[in-house]
Amino acid sequence: MDDADFALIQRLADATGDAIRPFFRARFEVETKADASPVTQADRAAEAAIRAILEKERPGDGIIGEEYGVVREDAARLWVIDPIDGTRAFLAGRPLFGTLIALLEEDRPVLGIIDQPIARERWIGATGRQTLFNGTPATTRACSTLAGAHLGTTGPYLFPAEDQPRFDRLRGQVRDTIWGGDCHNYGLVASGHIDLVVEANLQLYDFAALVPVVEGAGGRMTDWQGRPLGRESDGRVIAAGDPSLIEAAVGVLLA
C-alpha cells in the first residue's frame, strides 16, 4: 500500500458515487437474493465501475466483490468491494448506506474507505496513517466502560441464534443503543460520536474496509474473541473507539 493506492481508492469511490447517485430514490425493480438481501442495479453499476478501473490500473491484483465474485484470489494484493453496504437503507431512501472498498495485503486490510455518496461523507483509513473524514483528521473518543458507551448496531435480529443472547447481554450493559446505520456507524466511531459497534454474520466485504478506518482514528477492531480481523475471520466484529473497551466487550460476549 502506497500513496498511489491511497489516491486510487478515492478515485474508485468517486466512480461508485457517480454510478450510484442516479438510482437513489428512483423507483426500480427489486430482486431478491437467496439470503433475502435486496440487490439493485446501482449495486452492479457501482461494482462494475470499480472493476473496470482496477482491471486497467492494477491488472495483477485480485478482486473479491459482492456482486461479481472473485478473480485472482491468490494474488498478494486483494481488493475487496461491497458497492452498497446497507441495501435496505438504500432502497428505503436513507442516505446512510455506503460503498466499502478495502485493500488486503497478506490477507489483512491495510487500506479502506467508507463512502456515502448522497450525504457526501467519506472516511479513508490506512495502516500507519491518520484516518481522514472528508479530508480532515478523524479521532475516536475516550470511553473505557460499557456503562458509559453508546452502542450502534444495524438491527436487533441480525445475529445467528447462538450469538443473540450474547449480544443482548452486551446491549443490557451499555448506556444506550442506536439502531440502523450499517457501515456508517463505524465512521461515527472513527469520528468519536459513538463508542462501540458490535455485529455478526458479516462477510469479508462487509468489514474489511472498516478496520483501517477505525484503527487509523485511534480505535480498535477485533472479532468477538478479541483477535485481529482478516480474511479468515468468522464475521463477528467489534469496533471500539477506545481500545480498552474491546476487553470489556469480549468479556461480556464470551461470558
Q: Which residues bind a second copy (CB under 8 A)?
A: 25, 27, 36, 88-89, 91-96, 118-119, 141, 150, 152, 154-157, 176-181, 184, 188, 191-194
Closest separation between CB of residue 225 and a second copy, Å? 26
**Nearer CB in complex with a second copy: 137/155:** 155
Rg (CA), the chain: 17
Mark 23-48 as b/e (b = at least 16 C-beta within 10 Å). Answer: bbeeeeeeeeeeeeeebbbbbbbbbb
Closest separation between CB of residue 212 and a second copy, Å? 20
Alpha-carbon span 29 to 234, nearest angstrom? 32
**Nearer CB in complex with a second copy: 37/225:** 37
Any idea how long the chain is?
255
3-state secondary structure of 18: helix
Closest separation between CB of residue 92 and a second copy, Å? 5
Closest separation between CB of residue 25 and a second copy, Å? 6
**Nearer CB in complex with a second copy: 76/142:** 142
Closest separation between CB of residue 246 and a second copy, Å? 20
**Nearer CB in complex with a second copy: 61/182:** 182
Mark 192-229 as b/e (b = at least 16 C-beta within 10 Å). Answer: bebbbbbbbebebbbbbbbbbbbbbbbbbbbbbeeeeb
**Nearer CB in complex with a second copy: 94/231:** 94
Backbone angles phi, psi at 167, to 5 degrees: -65, -45
**Nearer CB in complex with a second copy: 62/219:** 219
94 touches 108 (CB < 8 A): no
Alpha-carbon span 152 to 179, nearest angstrom? 6
Closest separation between CB of residue 141 and a second copy, Å? 8
Alpha-carbon span 239 to 70, nearest angstrom? 27
